Amino acid sequence: MTMIDWQALLAPPGMAPAAPAGDAADDVADDDAMDAGGGGAGEGAGTGAATRAAPPDDALRMVMREYAGGDRGDDRNVCVLIGTVRRERYGPNGKARPASATPLGMRYAPYRIEIEEPGGLAFSMPLSVSARLMETGLFTDGARVQISGSVRLEQTYDRAFAVHPDDAGLPTWETRLDVIAVARAPETAPDGSWVKLVGAVDGGPAIRDDVIGPGVRCPIATVRIRCRSALRSIVSGARAMHALTTLTPADVALDGSVADAAALLKHGNQVIVEGRLLPRVYQRRRGDPRIQAALAATEEAIRAKGGAPDEVARRIAAARRRMLTGVRMTVGVGYVELVKGRALTDEEVARLIAAGGGPRRKAAPPAPPPPPPRADIDAALDAALLALPSVPDAVVPMNGGAPWMG
């Protein structure tokens, strides 16, 4: 679906072809149209200034030019990533995993991209690479590439929790990078990522404490940013616009290091967020029956293999720890701009941190109220009884007539 100019992409970033004459003016016009037609509920209004802002670098300009739709897109959900590509392998022989086919008939090769940032952060994340992108020849083991695309949450199934061959596994949400364009990374550019999201805060924050040292904690808020983009038709001049809504998790520190972080803590606020991709480790809920079933099956399999009791116990504990620990990519927020809405006050933020989160945190269902006194119920039923017709139609002797017909 994506029309990509490979010659342009394969050129060094500084040598990108010049935009056609009138491109800047067209961009402005397109953004205005997008605000009017594709913004939708609460997102289109007020973001025009943001979308009209000049792209920060060549990579973003490349994404905007090559975005799905062929001619132009918008920059409401943009991710630029520089790292090393690795083909996913499995098994003791390191055999490459085969490509997976989507229900729509497309085949995607499983790759990961490894990122080692200068600050010491190192991680890898999955990529779904379509056959068309594979044709570029850039996706080879160890190749260093610059990838541009958009991030979104996608539901997948964790096969580690499958308890029988036909079981798809545990449904889980994973942050995916939809690769739109790829190019060789410049030699001098360090590994890293840059994400820009323009959208609305979806729901309240979940607050947690990030332990950064012995007894030292930093409050972190996890929010979701809903970005709505408008895809234009592949035919120039067509009037149809197609909305594309994505949801992306974002973490923001509440220790004062990010200015205007309070703007992300209120549902419905329209914001511009810039940050980088970060892996977030979380603990799965061990009370989930599917997780319990998978843990029990794993434990049974380990016991079936046999071994010394201490060794078996260690292996079981390690397997439990591994299965209960999950990693999800999120956007580590480094810049927030409030476009529309209201930021929480310092007092409200302090109260939110003390309460441990907003409405997204699910409380235990309330216990059923105790039944009222029996005398109250009987009195109410007596009153209802007296309110009924003293002699119901059905009890009146029917002398040839049908009471319900008057």
Partner 1 sequence: MDGVMELIGRTSQWRRRMRRDGTGVVIAAWLRPAAGAGVGVVGVYLPEERVPDPTGLPARTQALIRAVLRPLHVHALDGDHRLPHAPDATLLLLEALEALAWDRVTPPLPWPGMPVALAAPPRAIGGGGLAHLADLPDVCGWSPDGAALAVGTLAVGRAVGGVTAEVGGRSWLRPLLWLAPAADAAGRA
Q: Which residues bind partner 1 (CB under 8 A)?
A: 369-372, 374, 376-378, 380-386, 388-395, 397-398, 402-405
Please say which residue, 118 or 370, places its beta carbon nearer to partner 1: 370
Please say which residue, 285 or 374, places its beta carbon nearer to partner 1: 374
CA nearest neighbour of 282 among 233, 249, 237? 249
In the complex, minimum distance from the CB of residue 372 to partner 1, in angstroms, rounded to a whole number:
4
Please say which residue, 289 or 392, places its beta carbon nearer to partner 1: 392
Please say which residue, 240 or 394, places its beta carbon nearer to partner 1: 394
Mark residue 317 as left, alpha or beta (left: phi above 0; alpha: psi -120 to 50; beta: remaining).
Answer: alpha
In the complex, minimum distance from the CB of residue 364 to partner 1, in angstroms, rounded to a whole number:
17
In the complex, minimum distance from the CB of residue 389 to partner 1, in angstroms, rounded to a whole number:
8
In the complex, minimum distance from the CB of residue 383 to partner 1, in angstroms, rounded to a whole number:
7
In the complex, minimum distance from the CB of residue 393 to partner 1, in angstroms, rounded to a whole number:
7
In the complex, minimum distance from the CB of residue 396 to partner 1, in angstroms, rounded to a whole number:
9
Please say which residue, 190 or 403, places its beta carbon nearer to partner 1: 403
Please say which residue, 234 or 381, places its beta carbon nearer to partner 1: 381
Please say which residue, 25 or 391, places its beta carbon nearer to partner 1: 391
In the complex, minimum distance from the CB of residue 109 to partner 1, in angstroms, rounded to a whole number:
45
CA nearest neighbour of 181 among 53, 86, 54, 60? 60
Please say which residue, 164 or 374, places its beta carbon nearer to partner 1: 374
**How crowded is the C-beta side of 366, counted as CA atoms within 13 Å?**
3
SS (H, E, C) the chain: CCCCCHHHHHCCHHHCCCCCCCHHHHHHHHHHHHHHHCCCCCCCCCCHHHHCCCCCCHHHHHHHHHCCCCCCCCCCEEEEEEEEEEECEECCCCEECCCEECCCCCEEEEEEEEEECCCCCEEEEEEEEEHHHHCCCCCCCCCEEEEEEEEEEEEEEEHHHCCCCCCCCEEEEEEEEEEEEEEECCCCCCCEEEEEEEEEEEEEEEEEEEEEECCEEEEEEEEEEEEEEEEECCCCCCCCEEEEEEEEEEEEECCCCCCCHHHHHCCCCEEEEEEEEEEEEEECCCCCHHHHHHHHHHHHHHHHHCCCHHHHHHHHHHHHHHHHEEEEEEEEEEEEEEEECCCCCHHHHHHHHHHCECCCCCCCCCCCCCCCCHHHHHHHHHHHHHHCCCCCHHHCCCCCCCHHHC
In the complex, minimum distance from the CB of residue 365 to partner 1, in angstroms, rounded to a whole number:
12
